[in-house]
Amino acid sequence: MPTSTPPRRALRAVAAALTLLTSVSVLAGCGKSEPGSTADGKTVLRYQGATGQVSPYELAEDLGYFSKISLRWEGDTTSGPANIQAAATNQVEFGSAFNGAVVKLIAGGAKVTAVLSSYGSDEQSFTGYFVRDDSGINSARDLIGKKVGVNTLGAHHEFITREWLHQQGLSDKEIKQVELTVVPPANTEDALRKGQIEVGTLGSVFRETAVERGGIHPLFTDKGLFGTFDYGTYVFRNDFIAKNPDAVKDFVQGTARATRWLQVTPREEVQARFTSIIEKRGRNENTGLIKYWKSSGIPVPGAVIDQKELQIWIDWLVRNGELKEGQLKATDLFTNKDNPYANGTYTPQSGPTGEAVAAK
């Protein structure tokens, strides 16, 4: 991780955008009742997905890695903060978001725990901040007075943008003049090409399809700032974990194994599996994006959480006066206890499905 400290302005922007999360703890009991079990006794876990994409936990279910849980799709989301708010307020059992949003959620009083890394940047999968080739934008200073499209405020894309501007030497006043505009990921490329925004945040298949069409290039990337790194986690409500420890353990071990399967399985095999899953689930989705999938995006085997991925946000909140020194400790916000890869002993040996298995 770089040693530069993000400006207080950047953290204030993130904190302000996440204020809606500070009240979720009082709403946690106001959601739907838990969905119960299937006829064969499996605990049902509600979740929000992503159109045209397959998550590691959806893959885990398809691979047969779950024995005690059954997933139930409740719709799609494109916002991490909204996804973990849904989990905290009992709309779904678990959610995934940028770790800064997770820390802010817990700092606001929500009783949730991170159990597994959910996304990040590796050598092949990362988020780029793209400009048109004919835009004339070549530096951070060129963005003053311009619009940067992000998927939501107060999360990964905003933080990376403001941190890059800071590292490039812009003052807090100048950074304030760079306008962050919320644009759904599916619309970002079009908005960029039409000139509605000057910078478009593109990751995963959206980046790959846009690059293939040409005419754009990245001004900067998250990997360029931080290298390969896990940026987000899955969280569960603490009361659900207490009542359903076996279900949470099954989710973690299965999703960790599925993540490892993605990390060691040939790309073509992964793409074929994803296509099959999308076709079987019958949500009227386009499978055309699957051919652009490159990697899991998670550099750590089995998605094990490292405390520094949460501690960095705690430190910033303390410096900004949002938290008192010692109020939160990273080790209290997450657990790796159910992850079969947590001890770091795994081998490239494959089982019948091509999964890399943990050493005994």
253-276 average pLDDT score = 96
In the prediction, which pLDDT does 345 show? 58
Q: Are 99 and 19 in contact (CB under 8 A)?
A: no
For residue 19, the SS3 value is helix
> Does the structure show a pLDDT above 50 at 320?
yes
In the prediction, which pLDDT does 323 show? 78
What is 228-282 written as a DSSP string? SEEEEEEEEEHHHHHH-HHHHHHHHHHHHHHHHHHHHS-HHHHHHHHHHHHHHHT
**CA nearest neighbour of 167 among 1, 2, 308:** 2
In the prediction, which pLDDT does 319 show? 66
Q: Where in the chain is the domain with CATH 3.40.190.10?
A: 43-121+229-332, 127-226
> Does the structure show a pLDDT above 80 at 197?
yes
In the prediction, which pLDDT does 111 show? 96
Reported as a pLDDT band with limits 50, 70 and 90, residue 355 is very low
- As to burial, measured by CB atoms within 10 angstroms (0-12 exposed, 13-18 middle, 19+ buried), residue 276 is middle
| Beta strand segments in 82-139, E | 94-98, 112-121, 127-132
Q: What percent of the chain has pLDDT over 70?
A: 85
In the prediction, which pLDDT does 53 show? 87
For 237, residues 6+ apart whose C-beta sits below 8 A from its C-beta are 28, 87, 88, 90, 93, 111, 112
In the prediction, which pLDDT does 100 show? 84
Q: What CA–CA distance (Å, rounded) separates 126 from 324? A: 33
> Does the structure show a pLDDT above 60 at 346?
no
Which pair of tokens denotes residue 82?
Answer: 């909204």
Where is 12: in which H helix or E strand? helix 8-17
Q: What CA–CA distance (Å, rounded) separates 210 from 203? A: 10
> Does the structure show a pLDDT above 60 at 357?
no
306-319 average pLDDT score = 82
> Does the structure show a pLDDT above 60 at 293?
yes
111-137 average pLDDT score = 92
In this predicted model, what pLDDT tens digit does every residue of 53-108 receive, in sequence order?
899 999 999 999 999 999 999 999 868 888 999 999 999 999 999 898 899 899 88
The domain defined by 43-121+229-332 folds into: D-Maltodextrin-Binding Protein; domain 2 (3.40.190)
CATH superfamily of 127-226: Periplasmic binding protein-like II (3.40.190.10)
> Does the structure show a pLDDT above 70 at 22?
no
> Does the structure show a pLDDT above 80 at 34?
no
Is this structure's pTM higher than 0.85?
no
Residue type for position 304: V
Between residues 17 and 114, the one the model is more confident about:
114
Q: How many residues are present in the chain?
A: 360
Of the ranges 27-36, 76-85, 327-336, the best mean pLDDT one: 327-336
> Does the structure show a pLDDT above 60 at 137?
yes
Strands 69-76, 43-49: pairing is: parallel
- Report the mean per-residue pLDDT for the chain: 84
